[in-house]
Amino acid sequence: MKRTFLGEFEEVVLLTVAVLGEEAYGVTVTQEIEQRTGRGVGFSTVHTTLQRLEEKGFLSSEMGGATAERGGRRKRFFTVTALGRKALQEVKQIREELWAAMPPQTLQLMGG
């Protein structure tokens, strides 16, 4: 079975969309990443990554209704697809296997 690999930032964006559920659109994804990771990310970087993940089939999107707060502009909401969920499960499994394979002395050196 061929595994699907994600870049680190793609993984973070995909996970964040999954966390946000129905509230996942560019601004909320950007804010959630900044809040959870403590690192500043540009909206344009997040937007580009959302588009790329959609092109790869990991996300789908649909336009929401126009809102007065956005000057009548509509929001594009994102959801994780079945392929995206599979990719996240594979990444999680790989990370868990690597952590489990870590020699105990290495964790001691890391302060764990």
Residue 48 forms part of a structural domain: yes
In a domain, 90, yes or no: yes
Q: With pLDDT > 90 as the criterion, what percentage of the chain qualifies?
A: 72
Give the per-residue pLDDT at 102: 87
Closest CA relative to residue 57, chosen from 81, 41, 40, 77: 81
Tell me which residue range forms the domain holding 60.
8-109
Residue 15 in domain = yes
DSSP 103: -
Q: What CATH number is attached to the domain comprising 42?
A: 1.10.10.10
34: pLDDT strictly greater than 60: yes
pLDDT tens, residue by residue, 43-71: 999 999 999 999 999 999 999 876 666 66
Indicate whether 1 belongs to any domain: no
Residue 109 has pLDDT above 90, yes or no: no
Mean pLDDT of the chain: 89
3 within a domain of the structure (yes/no): no
- For residue 88, give both structure tokens: 């996240």
Residues near 66 by beta carbon (within 8 Å), at least 6 away in sequence: 72, 73, 74
Asked whether residue 2 is assigned to any structural domain, the reply reads no
Judge whether 33 lies within some domain: yes
**Domain-embedded: residue 94:** yes
Total domains in the fold of the chain:
1
